[in-house]
Structure 1
Amino acid sequence: MADQHKPGEKVQTSGIYKVVKEGDGESEFEVTCVEGEHFPPTRSGKGAHYELVHAATHSHKHSELGSGD
C-alpha cells in the first residue's frame, strides 16, 4: 500500500499525486504537489488522501541543470 498523506500535511516530495476520495463511489484523480507546500483540502472534506504516483526533482535542484554559479 502506498504512503497516504492527508490534506493540510506538508508535502515532503514534489511530484504527481493521486487524490483518493473515499465514501460514496470512491473516486480518484491526479494533481501536482510541490515540496514545502501543504496538501490542499478537498471539497468533500472527509475521507480524502493523497498518494505519490511519480516523484519529480525541481530543475534548480538537479545536478545536470545547475544554474552555472
Structure 2
Amino acid sequence: MAEQHKPGQKVETSGIYRVVREGDGGSAFEVTCVEGEHFPPTRSGKGAHYELVHAATHSHKHHELGSAG
C-alpha cells in the first residue's frame, strides 16, 4: 500500500500524486505537488488522500543543471 498524505500536510517530495477519494468508485486522478507547499483540500471533503506515483527533482536542484559555482 502506498504512503498516504492528507490535504493540508506539507509536501516532502515533489512529483505526480494520485488523488484518491474514499468510496468514490475508483475515480482517482493525478496532479503535480511541489515540495514545501501543502497538499490542497479537495471538493469531495472527508476521506480523500494523496499517493506519490512518480517523484521528480526540480531543475534548479538537479546537479546536472543550473549554475556551476
Q: In which range does the TM-score fall when normalised by the shorter chain?
A: over 0.9
Identity %: 86
Q: How many residue pairs get matched?
A: 69
Deviations 1:24-53 (A, max 9, x none): 424200000000000000001111000000
TM value normalised by structure 2: 0.93
The structure that is helix-richer by fraction is 1
| SS, match of residue 10 in structure 2 | coil
TM value normalised by structure 1: 0.93
Task: For residue 23 of structure 1, report the CA deviation from its aligned partner.
Answer: 1.6
Separation (CA, whole Å) in 2 of partners of 1:63 and 1:12: 19
| SS, match of residue 42 in structure 2 | coil
1:5 corresponding residue in structure 2: 5
Segments ≥4 residues shifted beyond 4 Å: none
Structure 1 unmatched ranges of 5 or more: none
1:46 corresponding residue in structure 2: 46
